[in-house]
Structure formats: C-alpha cells, structure tokens
Structure 1
Amino acid sequence: MYWLAVILLGSCMTPKAKSQVKLDAEGHQWWQHAVFYEIYPRSFADSNSDGIGDLNGITAKLDYLKDLGVDAIWITPCFPSPQVDFGYDVADYENIDPMYGTLGDFERLASEAKKHNIRIIMDFVMNHTSDQHAWFKESRSSRDNPKRDWYIWRDGKGPSKPPNNWLSTFGGSAWKFDPITGQWYYHFFYPEQPDLNWRNPDVEKAMFDVTSWWYQRGVAGFRLDAVDTLFEDPGLHDNPVVPGKNQYGDPRMQNLYNTKLPELHGVLQRLRQVADKYDAVLIGETWTKDIDELKQYYGEHSNELQMPMDFLFARVDKLSAPEFRKQIAGVNAVGWPVYVLSNHDIVRAYVRYGDGVHNDAIAKVMAGLYLTLRGTPLMYYGEEIGMTNNDPKRREDVKDPIGRLGWPKEKGRDGERTPMQWNTDANAGFSQAKPWLPVPSSYKTHNVESELKNSDSILNFYKRVLALRHQSLAFREGEYIALNENDPNILSYLRRYKDEAVLVVLNMSSSPQQVSFNLQPVGITASSAKTLVTTGKANRDSASLKSISLEPFSVYIGEIEK
C-alpha cells in the first residue's frame, strides 16, 4: 500500500542536507523583511503586442518594481499548459509556456531581477497536473503502466456511478470515467486537472525534484497552490451532505474526507527540508476556518511553511477596527504573520472596502494597515494604483471557466485579473494589441504614469510607506503593541524596536475623529510624535499625543520623539 510506504520511506526520501538559512542579528530571515508582489503574467506587461503579458514584459518593469519598494515577485504559473485554468493545469513543470516566452527569457528575468535585488517566487501547483502532462498520459494508457498509481484511479459503484459522492470545487462530480481502461480518476478541480497521488513516494520525489530544478535556476521560493487538497481518504468515505445547494446547483457538503488530511503536514515538513538547502521560502495558499487551524501550517516546530497566508485577515470584508484588531492579535500569537488583501482569486480590495465615494482615501488606509504591521505583506499587482474590478457584463464575455459554469450567480474571476494600468494610452499602455481582458474606464485616472505625477496619489502613498518600512528599524525588527483597544473607529498601534517607536493611527470611519494616547503603560513618557507620513491636512510636521485630529478615512504615522 502506497499510503504505508510513504510513511515508512518519508524520512529517507529527502536526505537531510546542511541548511543554508541565513539569519540577521535579530534572528530574522530575508523573507521577513521583504515586500512581496504578486504578478499575474497574462496581465502585467505585454512585450510582443499579442494582447497577453509575458516574461519579457515583467523584465521591462523591474525598475518600476524596485522604485515602488518591492523585494520579491510571485509569478503565477507560466509553465506549459493547455490553459484550461489559466496555467493551473501544468503540462510540464520544467519549462515556460511559449505564450510567456522561453526558458532563456526566464533566465534573463532572473538575472536582471538579481541586479535589482528582487527575488523570484514561482507558483507550484502541487495537487494536480494537466491531463496533457506526460505523467498522466502514461498513467491512463493502461492499468499496469508504471505511472498508473501516480494518480487516483478507482472502480465505480456500478455502471455510470462514480466511486463516491465527492464533488469538484468547480461543480459536478470529482470523478471522471475514462473509457480507455474502464476506471474513474479523481479531480478536485476541473476534469482536465487530475489529482496526483501523494501517497506514492515516486510522486513526492518527482515533485520535490521539480523544486530543486528551479532553485538551481535562481528561484527563491514557491507559493504552494491548494495545499489543503493533497491527500484523500483511501477508504473513499462519502462526504457529509448539508442542507442547500452551491452556486453550481450541486448539494452542499463538507469536504471532510478529501481536504486537510493530517498527512499533508509530513509532505510540507519534507518539502521545507529541500527549501532550507537553498535558503528559500514556502508560501502557502492556506484557507482556514480559524487561527488554530492556521497555526498548524507553520508546523509544531516551525518546520513547515514559513509564510502561510492569513486569509482570515483578507476576509474581514469591511472597514472594522475591532475585527482587524482581533485578527492581528490572533495571528501574532501563532507565527510570523503574512498579510494579504486581495489576489487573482479575490475581488480587489479597492472594491471590497470602498464606499463608492472615498475609495482612494480608503485604499490608503488599507495600505497604511497591512504595510506597517509586524509581518510580511503580499501585494497584488495594481493594488498600489487603486485598480478596480472590471467584471464581465455578459456570459459570452467571460473567460474564467468558473464564471461560464456558474453564470449569473457566479461571474468568475476575470474582474480582478484585468491588465495592469500603466498610462492613459490605448489599453492602458499594457499592449498595442487588444488585451485578453478589457481594461476598466478607470484607467484614465488610475494609472502609474498619472499617479507618479500626483503627490497625493495612492501610488505615491504606497511608495512613501514602503520606503519607511525599509528604512525604519521599528518596522523592520520591532514588536507590535496594540493601543486604545476599545476604540470602535480607530485602529492604532506602536511598532517598537529598542528605543525607536513609531505610532500608526488609522481612522476607519467616515467621520472626523479625535484621539489621545497615554503610552506610559508601555514605558514611553514622550508627549509628541514627529510626523513621518499623513494623509490629513493637520499634523503635517508633528502631533501631540494628547490630541490627534483625524479626517475621515485618514492615516497618521509618526515617530515617537525621545
């Protein structure tokens, strides 16, 4: 049985090698000081005018990223793929899809990024491959093929009856009948994305070797896609059905037997051993129901993921000082925080938090929050210029298969994946050809070129805060101290390192606020702060801690004067 073999052989499959992890004087690793930036390569910059972004386009924008304050870029999948799920159906883990360029283009990107002191993080689709991957083609060819058990094949319960009631997260049964061998294969996602059998030690070795292959080409880590789904109950017990229907009209059910099985933590621990050989970082797509569940992904001995994403923070979908305060305290208690506001699967923050009137000011409040906390921020391209969603209005315009399947209740993720807005030229300067997705009309005001010229823009606010984040020891190394914890409107805290302390005050309400601070309980007797960054008209140079005036949806950041 492969499930037993992987337990017995796991410790010898990845021989322990000397760790290359480097620490600073405070015991922090490089990724704890870094600002990460997610790039959806189809939508970032098109260098060859085919309407689709590419690797050379990213290389051409490295100066912009460095000037912004970015230290590492996470590139969503750019491997060869049939593009059923826009690259998350990988046909070859050790090459580049021609639509994005060549391996030579990647090597040039890696070389130029290194000159800019920007690290590259690749997206590792661990749970499944494309049905066009050579491994799956072999696996489906016959029941006795050596790679048959690299995927999950089972007999049905009867004619046209799948092995159990498990559902695909994208609708319908999670099993597809394959007439070539008369068995069903399992796919948690689309039928074109068959799940790998992680109970097979050969699969683990092959996938771990993929990471080493990329590390040796300059990659500094991986974002691990869909880690929750690596293992399934070998007994194939039916999942419990609960009342109601999902967006695809299927019965709602709890994924009790095919997600978050304990075996996945052993894989993460062994994958971490490989990463530590290269001083690399592992970022997890870790959707959790609470902080205790998130804690598990760090590992009992901090030996699994260095950076499990805190989606509990991202799912506070309202401007609520008490709710954010609660989430910040929770994650600080269990591990190094990883803060995300939006990504290619989540509606943009500009939309979720905006009120339709003060969206730009609110975007600065959110930046002032997640860029100044203790932890590592993971930005999403365009967040820094206030990009909005551009959701399709008609089913025939939808590119995302989720939207086509679930329309109109589910419109898909096209809206948050539109081309980066560089200037006021046609197609927002993204491409000279018609882009693969349309840009919203807001590009005329919210674009890099225009915002660079406006000192009060969202972009220039991001640049100021990110510069401060890199320069200030309080932000780089300091602790997080919550202040005025019963204030329903203002989220405030200190970042303190030795004798340096910085005060962050965020008015999350639509009304002016007056706030005072008594810092004596935390050992600070100062009565004023030197202003570092503010979005308000008051307190431009300094502020009295006895009374700070805040405009609606405003930010104040000041260094406590000694």
Structure 2
Amino acid sequence: MNQETEIETAAPVNPGPEWWRGAIIYQIYPRSFQDSNGDGIGDLLGIAQRLPYVASLGVDAVWISPFFTSPMKDFGYDVSDYYDVDPMFGSLADFDHLIRAAHEHHLKVFIDLVLSHTSDEHPWFRESRSSRDNPKANWYVWADAKPDGTPPNNWLSIFGGSSWQWDTTRCQYYLHNFLQEQPDLNFHEPEVQKTLLDVARFWLVRGVDGFRLDTVNFYTHDVQLRDNPPLPVEERNPITAPAVNPYTWQNHIYDKTRPENLVFLRKMRDLMDEYGAAAVGEVGDDQRGLEILGEYTTGDELLNMSYAFELLADHAPSAGYITKVTEHLHRVAGLGWACWAFSNHDVPRHGTRWKLTEAGYRCYLTLMMCLRGSVCLYQGEELGLPEAEIAFEDLQDPYGKRMWPAFKGRDGCRTPMVWDASNQNGGFSSGHPWLPVSHDHLNRAVATQEHDPSAVLHHYRRAMSFRRNHPALRKGALTDMSADGTILRFMREHDGEQIFCAFNLSGEPAVTDMPDGRWHQIGIELGSAGPAPDGRLHLGPWQPALALRAKH
C-alpha cells in the first residue's frame, strides 16, 4: 500500500453514539466481490480477505447484501432461513471471522435484513400454506378470490403482473410485492413482529453494527385490501420500477407505506439502541419518497437514516434538480437524515446511466462528499466502472428475463469486482464466474489503478479524506443552496467551521460570484478552483470550488 492508502486506515472520526451520522458506507454485493474457494461465487471469506482494501478507501462501514440461506430465486433477497449463512457464502463461523476482521480495521458492519417477505421455501410459509387453521396460518397475507375467481384487488408486483398468486392447497391468494416466490409476511400478526425482532437480535448479538432494511415501507398493507387508485400519466415518476412496467401506473397508497408500519419501526429502534446499532431504511416510492424519509427518520424513535432514491434517477442531476430536491427535503424532512447514493445493485451504474465523462464522474463524487447526509458507495464505483453489457444467454436476473429487451435487468451492475487485469476473471475467482467479467472493466482493475496517481480510485480516496477532515461536511447544516445556471452553490457549517461549495455541473466553463467575507481556498487536491483577480469564480467544465471562511 502506498502512503496515501495507509493514512486512510485511521480510526473512525465519529466514535460516539451518532457514529452513523455523515458516515460513508461501502456496499458489498457478496456474490460478486471476491471468491475464496474457486466456485465462481463470491463469499464471506473473500470479503474478509479484501477488507484491508476497503479500509484503505477511508470508508466508515460496509453494507453486505444478503448472505442468508436462500434458494436464490432473487439472489438472496428470498430468505429461507434468517439464522444461517447460505453454504455458497460460507458459514456462521466465517461470518464471525468477517465481523472480527472488519472491527480490527475500524469498519462498522451493516447487514441487509429482508423482513417484508421470505422465500416460498421458508418453513414458515410451508406451514402457513398447508391449511387455514395451522399455527402460522396468519403469518402471511392471504385473501379469498373475488366471486369471479380473480385476485382480491388490483395491486401489482414490482416484478410485473398481479401481486397475488393463487395457492391450490388453501384455495386462496397470497400477496407478493416482488417475485411470486417471495410471499409477503403479515405484519398485522403480532407473532410475526416478535419473531422478526428476534432475528434482528440474533445478528446484533453476533456483533453487527446496523441494518440496511430492505423495502422498509413495504412491511404493512391495508387490512381492507382496497384498490390502489390510478396515477395520471403526467404524475408518473418511474424510480422503483422501469417505465415499461405498469406498476408505475398506480398510486401505491394501500399496498405499502401504511401508518401501522411506524409501530414496528419503533420496536426495531428500541432494540437497536440496546446495542448502539443503527439502521438505514430503503424507502421505495415514486411520488412520496422524501416525505416518507422525513416520517421515518425524524426524531430518535424510528430509523436513524433513510436511503433516498432521488439521485438514483436515470437523468444526471443538474444544479436546478439538486436544488429542487434539497428544498423539498428541507420542507418535508428537515429534521430527518438522508443517505445518498448514485449507484447500487438494482440500477445501472451511474457513469453509464448519466453518460458521464471522467471529469463529470469525479465532480459528482466530490459533490456527494459535500452533501448533507450519509453516503452509500457501491463496489467498483471507486474504479469508475461502467455498466457491463450482458448477453441474453448469460443473463441471471429473473427481472431482466421477464422484461427483456425493454429492460435488461440488474446483472450489468452486478458483474464481478476487478482486482487484477492479469487474467480474464479479474482476480475475482480461479473458477468460472457466475456472471462474466466485463472486458471493459479489466483495464480499470484495482491493481492497475493503485499504481496510477491520476486514477479515479485515488480521487475517491482524496474526496473521502476531505470529507472526514471537515466536520461541517460530515454532520453540519446545509444552507443557501441555489443554482446559478449550471453551477450549484451552497454552504456547510458546523461548530464554527463554514465551507462554501460550488460545482459546475456541465461540460462548459461557467462563472459565479464568491460570497461576501474572507475565504481560503481548500480542496486543491480535488481540482478546486480559487477566485480570479476580479474576485469571481471562473469554473472550468465539471470543476468544483471549495473555500473555508477565515476566522477573525
């Protein structure tokens, strides 16, 4: 490791009870991070092997996508045993080793808890579907057909079609907001809530520091099973599902985000507080995402933070768009806490999605490090990886297979991490990878970029170090945001530290004014501009300007 890398392994900057506030969280998709045994699938020991690299980035925590026992119809988001590790990923002993190794590297560990639904192969569901009067008969959402045999209402699945599946044993429909192999648990049943809290406690006892709560606003449903109303065409905002999916045609007011959900989240928060743990909730909603973020994170009784979708949109966020989002967030969630991301395991990588040049890619990363909230980075993002092209015959994602070719699924962002360009598998596996390694990715491998001081990888390290060194950026207030043409401007302030931030979010030069006062240029290592002799800021294409107010 070079000297810059060693500096970044320092102890956390927020060691207290609010360690999560302003944290940088690195998402690991375990199937695709590092294979330790040559079977072509990443695993827990592979993750542990690569933790020195993760720590070298300067992140505060890792979020590990599901590794629980599963038939893998949705690659681990269909859990058949919450209390064990799927053999393809290793064992509970491997997980315990991973926790110890992460903590030795001063990394917190979030695990992905999928509580809204299970696999249809879970013993709970097998018992529930066996009859209408067994002890777990009410653990899932069952309903009779309409008199004509059709589903109970018009609710739709995110993966396409009705969210109701007929079961020939109970002669009833069961609810599935996702795949039909993912039946929804019934959170109106007290025993379900109690058991899921026991699941969370099991992993807290094993040493996890927090949870990423998958589809957290899907937990409860309307007990009256009322139809969702249609959504006018002009109000459709396809974020949670592609535009070709009619799921986006409904206003989902009855199949998710019900007020009863808050009761369970308070119980979850009480449990997490016992262990000093934190949770980031994934709120999936096309119309009310930021409002729900506010409802779920304001105060100290619910979630610590919520995963916001606004910067996961298909279009590159302009200065005006970010200003609009921030103003809306301040109105509806000013006392809440967001967690921002540009990429994850469910959307095309943002460099491709937004058609960014390398300069644009670097500028957006610097901007993210200056926004108020916590941050999620997705594995390979720090290498500038583009979306991989996957041939239909190599496709694994059931979502893509169902919607092809209008929607090609999520495999393009899930291909294996590239560590070394010396072999066609990128150092990921000695066996045949579960998804092909993109040839476009090999020349961006970690080993190649480590030896290139100008590489994107080092820009990520510098930007994260910059954030860690300034409390105003980690947890301070954000004020005075505005769009001056293509330039986004705002202030960050905390405990006497005030930082002015400006970003030219375009490929053309732009000019703006410095705020009144005496300012010192900072962030030079990130390409930050300083004021010209005329006192104005002349920003090149995709250039930031960062300045610290001088103390009197």
> Could you tell me whether the CA contact under 8 Å between 2:415 and 2:436 is conserved in 1?
yes
Please give the secondary structure, in 1, of the residue aligned with 2:83: coil
Corresponding position of 1:419: 416
Shift of 1:325: 2.1
1:401 aligns with 2:398: yes
Change (3 A) 1:107 1:545: farther
Corresponding position of 1:506: 503
Corresponding position of 1:56: 45
1:459 aligns with 2:457: yes
> Could you tell me whether the CA contact under 8 Å between 1:364 and 1:554 is conserved in 2?
no
Shift of 1:251: 9.8
Question: 1:326-365 to 2 correspondence within 5 Å?
Answer: 326-332=324-330, 333-355=334-356, 358=357, 360-365=358-363
Change (3 A) 1:498 1:252: closer
Shift of 1:272: 1.0
Shift of 1:556: 3.4
Change (3 A) 1:151 1:544: farther
Please give the secondary structure, in 2, of the residue aligned with 1:148: coil
Question: 1:21-170 to 2 correspondence within 5 Å?
Answer: 29-158=18-147, 160-170=149-159
Corresponding position of 1:259: 256
Rounded Cα–Cα distance in structure 2 between residues aligned with 1:169 and 1:258: 11
Q: Indicate the RMSD between aligned Cα atoms, in angstroms.
A: 2.5
Aligned residue pairs, count: 525
Please give the secondary structure, in 1, of the residue aligned with 2:280: strand
Rounded Cα–Cα distance in structure 2 between residues aligned with 1:239 and 1:532: 52
- 1:287 aligned to which of 284, 287, 308: 284
Q: Scaled by the length of structure 1, what TM-score is found?
A: 0.88
Question: 1:196-275 to 2 correspondence within 5 Å?
Answer: 196-241=185-230, 247=244, 252-275=249-272
- Aligned partner of 1:146: which letter? P
Rounded Cα–Cα distance in structure 2 between residues aligned with 1:241 and 1:336: 31
Corresponding position of 2:173: 184
Identity of aligned residues (%): 39
> Could you tell me whether the CA contact under 8 Å between 1:533 and 1:558 is conserved in 2?
no
Corresponding position of 1:388: 386
Moved more, 163-172 or 123-132: 163-172
Shift of 1:517: 0.3
Change (3 A) 1:275 1:531: closer
Shift of 1:486: 4.1
Please give the secondary structure, in 1, of the residue aligned with 2:340: strand
Unpaired segments ≥5 residues, structure 1: 1-22, 520-524
- Aligned partner of 2:403: which letter? G
Corresponding position of 1:10: none
> Could you tell me whether the CA contact under 8 Å between 1:527 and 1:545 is conserved in 2?
no
Moved more, 77-86 or 286-295: 286-295
1:526 aligns with 2:518: yes
Rounded Cα–Cα distance in structure 1 between residues aligned with 2:325 and 2:248: 32
Shift of 1:527: 4.7
Moved more, 133-142 or 306-315: 306-315
Unpaired segments ≥5 residues, structure 2: 1-12, 234-241
Once the two structures are superposed, residues 388-412 of structure 1 have per-residue CA deviations (whole angstroms, 9 ceiling, x without a partner) of 1113243x33211111111111211
Corresponding position of 1:550: 539
Change (3 A) 1:144 1:367: same
Question: 1:430-445 to 2 correspondence within 5 Å?
Answer: 430-445=428-443
Please give the secondary structure, in 1, of the residue aligned with 2:425: helix
Corresponding position of 2:320: 322
Once the two structures are superposed, residues 500-548 of structure 1 have per-residue CA deviations (whole angstroms, 9 ceiling, x without a partner) of 33333321111122333023xxxxx315424543337x75xx9779133
Rounded Cα–Cα distance in structure 2 between residues aligned with 1:218 and 1:270: 19
Rounded Cα–Cα distance in structure 1 between residues aligned with 2:341 and 2:190: 33
